[in-house]
Amino acid sequence: MTIQWFPGHMTRAKRQIQDKLKLIDVVLELIDARVPVSSRNPMIDEIVGPKPRLILLNKSDLADPQQNARWLDWFRSFGHEVLAIDANTGTGTKDISARVKLLLKEKIDRQIAKGMNPRPSRALIVGIPNVGKSTLINKLAGRSAAITGDRPGVTKGQQWIRTGADLELLDTPGILWPKFEDPEVGFRLAATGAIKEEILHVDEVACFILRWLAVEYREALAERYGLSELPSELPDIASAAEVLEQIGRKRGCLAGGGHVDYAKAAGVLLRDLRTGKLGRITLEAPVI
Ligand code: GDP
């Protein structure tokens, strides 16, 4: 899915989420564990306001496990509740309901103290396109039937999805935009597949990523493409382009006259990256 975000769309997206906030107890903010900052909406704090929020580092199965741990610490250092999950297989998703309970403990305790039977908590999933919102909704919904919205406050066409005894989800997630004014954010999102790569030049995306891989995942890169003389860093785009050329030669990505087809070579690298062929890789590190 590609969404062209214009200021008007952003305002509408923000308003739609803020309307839904009135219906729910907690926000589940989905971000991509491989690019935890680049896959975040720049206005998320303002949009969510004081509503309790659980941050979910999704696609953690594709991200570097050591970096997952560092990112969890990083978010916690700001006082956030955060979990690493894999919405595809469901790893970590069973903990969501218990974490939500902890976040809402005071509210739930107040209800109990008043002699009320606490109702299931209601949640809204928000995140940028392709971060895994639908996958998570389907995983949490499991086989349980959706509950139709004949209750006050539920817009026509929207439904609550029961995900076990304690948690209900709005079936339509909140779609947020990323911070794409920053070119590096754009490169990272294109590399993970969050934005269509044809928006950017695929070889530029590959060169940007190669500069990171050469430092952080040198061995994996050298091994995958049989690069014997990989420099320990690629100080500029030109040196990254040389490595891309080597990859192209190794993989037979040739254009006429024996020249390397850079776009094809970039396609090989990015596909390998996204499908985990280079191992589990995180494309940005927390600044502590
Ligand atoms: P949405 O646009 O936010 O609703 O994203 P989708 O749920 O459509 O997911 C986008 C792509 O990411 C799909 O191909 C999913 O299979 C994949 N995906 C979602 N969650 C995970 C995950 O935790 N791990 C992996 N490996 N892939 C995931």
64 is a domain residue: yes
Instruction: Report, as an integer, the average pLDDT of 242-271.
Output: 95
Same domain, 141 and 215: no
Is residue 237 included in any domain, yes or no?
A: yes
At residue 93 the predicted structure's pLDDT band, cuts being 50, 70 and 90, is very high
Q: Which two tokens stand for residue 89?
A: 């297989």
Best of 130, 274, 277, 281 to mutate for ligand 1, by most ligand atoms within 8 A of CB? Answer: 130
Claim to verify: residue 170 and residue 230 sit in the same structural domain: no
pTM of the model: 0.93
Average pLDDT over residues 71-97: 97
Do both 206 and 159 map to the same domain? no
Q: Is the pLDDT assigned to residue 157 strictly greater than 80?
A: no
Within 13 A of 53's CA, how many CA atoms are on the CB side?
23
Note whether 57 and 68 are within 8 A (CB).
yes
Residues with CB under 6 A from ligand 1: 1, 58-59, 61-62, 86-88, 127, 129-135
Please determine, for residue 275, whether its predicted confidence score (pLDDT) is greater than 60. Answer: yes
Whether the pLDDT of residue 148 is over 90: the answer is no
Same domain for 38 and 102: yes
How many A from CA of 60 to the centre of ligand 1? Answer: 11
- pLDDT at residue 48 greater than cutoff 70: yes
- 232: domain CATH number? 1.10.1580.10
Q: How many domains does the chain have?
A: 2
DSSP states along 220-259: HHHHHHT-TT--S---SHHHHHHHHHHHHHHTT-B-GGG-
Cα 219 to averaged position of ligand 1 atoms, centre (Å) = 28
Residue appearing with tokens 């002699």: 115
Mean pLDDT of 32-40: 98
* Structural domain contains residue 280: no
- The verdict on 123 and 216 lying in the same domain is no
Annotated binding site: 58-61, 130-135, 174
Nearest to 263 by CA among 201, 209, 188, 221: 201
**Residue 181: band (very low, low, confident or very high) from pLDDT cuts 50, 70, 90:** confident
**For ligand 1, atom 17, which residue shows the shortest CA distance?**
132
User: Mean pLDDT across the stretch 137-162?
Assistant: 69
- Give the 3-state secondary structure percentages of the chain, helix then strand then coil, rounded to 5: 45, 15, 40
Does residue 264 belong to any structural domain of this protein?
yes
| Nearest ligand 1 atom, CA 138 | 7
For the stretch 189-212, pLDDT in tens is 999 998 876 678 999 999 999 999
Angle at 209 between CA 206 and CA 215, to 5 degrees: 135
**Protein residue with least CA distance to atom 6, ligand 1:** 132
Same domain, 138 and 83: yes
105 lies in which domain range?
7-175
Structural contact between residues 20 and 174, judged by C-beta atoms closer than 8 angstroms: yes
Atom of ligand 1 lying closest to residue 128 CA: 3
37 and 145 belong to one structural domain: yes
